[in-house]
Amino acid sequence: MAGDKIRVMIVDDIPETREQLRKLLSFDPDIEVVDMAGSGEEALERVLQARPHVILMDINLPGIDGIATTGKILEVLPVAQVIMLSVQGESGYMRKAMMAGARDYLTKPPSADELLDGIRRAYKTRQKMITGPLPQMVGGTTPVADGPRDQGKIITIFSPKGGTGCTTIAVNLAIALRNLIGANAKIALVDGNLQFGDITVFMKLQATRTLADLAPHAQEIDSDLLNSVMIPHASGVKVLSAPASPEEAGLFQDAEIEESGANSSFKTILNFVRREYDYVIVDTAHNVDSIFLAAMDVNDLMLILTRPVIPEIRGARLFLELLQKLNYPFDNVGLVINSVENKRMGIQPEAIERAMMPALVHIPLDERTALKAANYGVPLIMQNAKLPIGQALLKLAQTVRDQLKKVEAEAVAAQEDARQQVAGRGRLL
């Protein structure tokens, strides 16, 4: 491991404990203690500068405790691995620590072996996170980003009814695409449900920076400004959060409304995000309003969601009819049927397809997995990729990627045809 030591930061309020841990680690030539902090506040102040790979975190700290400090650290340094140390061996503490994003949990005082093993394990996990697809997931591993950098693909997720699974699918599709394409892929997830968006809840992120910070500066947006509001998630996906409170969505109301009905600020932001990212997934509210029309103006693929229940199917059909009236190209539309339960005597997905169009995927009903993911803020594809629901979401990512590539190849071929026709005509003239 020459020249590439494991950088460890120690956070503990008792100076003797810090020193004991430092001494234990000083005997290992692969480990370097890069900083020691006596409180959560101190750790937060210095963590970006110290850039530790692994953090040993005391759970009981004066001021912000170890669990809250962990959550905050992972917002700014999402690949850091936190090992929580506590005198309490209680499962309640352990669960809280894990929910805050800690990787491991050791009871104080740890033996030298326990500590060194834990640090090495955490470091290995970190290396996997930054060099390849997430370890829990299955799928392809092509390490190249898709598409030219100046024109990422925008995928809008929409359902005319609430509670259909838009956010679940947006979050998991973003992560599955990243897994499929590899660590080089730049994936943005934009919460276009401006009033009640909850992507940050589904991903256990703090909405410290949001679309409300961008709205007044949409027309002057540049890379630095965009970067400053994108929130990194441990999966590698970056999130552009909805405003933290419903009234802040009003900041978009002052924007010019284009002839298509699109909100010009939101559209400018989306167009800029696609310049910086390979794929941009946009979650939406359930209305055809100026925000949705902005996404519709720029998107490459729109996924319409329905569950096999009559009011939702009716809503999706009405929406398809609206698209027809607007002469919207159906090549850019995909149907996703969520919460399919084969055992129940409900409406069969095939009947929905006959009434509308073939679906890209049927996502099975799995209340336990979906609810657990929503309540814990851990996207199900990160823990349950092997279950049928996870497999269906991976299939969706693969299908979406294939379809976008096909549409792009056809557009390139059509352009080439047109170019050759013009060149041929030139020769005849």
Tell me which residues touch Mg ion (CB under 5 A): 166-167
Residues 345-364 that bind ligand ATP (CB under 6 A): 363
Nearer to ligand ATP, 84 or 370 (CB): 370
Smallest separation (angstroms) from ligand ATP to the CB of 310: 17
Taking the mean position of all CA atoms in its chain, how far away is CA 49? 26
Smallest separation (angstroms) from ligand ATP to the CB of 279: 19
Residue 214 near residue 221, CB atoms below 8 Å:
yes
Is 331 a binding residue for ligand ATP by CB under 6 A? The answer is no
Smallest separation (angstroms) from ligand ATP to the CB of 371: 5
Closest CA to 302 of 408, 170, 390, 414: 170
Q: Of 70, 81, 338, 384, which one interacts with ligand ATP (CB under 6 A)?
A: 338
In this structure, what are the phi and psi dihedrals at residue 401, rounded to the nearest 5 degrees?
-65, -45
- Tell which phi-psi region holds residue 236, choosing left (phi > 0), alpha (psi between -120 and 50) or beta: left
145, containing H or E segment = none
Is 374 a binding residue for ligand ATP by CB under 6 A? The answer is yes
Is 164 a binding residue for ligand ATP by CB under 6 A? The answer is yes
Please tell me what DSSP assigns to residue 330.
Answer: G
| Rg of the chain taking only CA atoms, in angstroms | 24
Smallest separation (angstroms) from Mg ion to the CB of 283: 6
Residue holding tokens 């298509």?
A: 260
Q: Of 86, 263, 339, 391, which one interacts with ligand ATP (CB under 6 A)?
A: 339
Taking the mean position of all CA atoms in its chain, how far away is CA 366? 21
What sign results for the dihedral spanned by CA atoms 341, 346, 349, 350?
positive
99, containing H or E segment = helix 91-99
Q: Which stretch binds ligand ATP (CB under 6 A): 49-57, 159-167, 257-265, 269-277?
A: 159-167
Cβ-closest position to ligand ATP: 162
Is 166 a binding residue for ligand ATP by CB under 6 A? The answer is yes
Q: Of 11, 255, 352, 389, which one interacts with ligand ATP (CB under 6 A)?
A: 389
Footprint of ligand ATP on this chain (CB under 6 A)? 159, 162-168, 193, 286, 338-339, 363, 365-367, 370-371, 374, 389
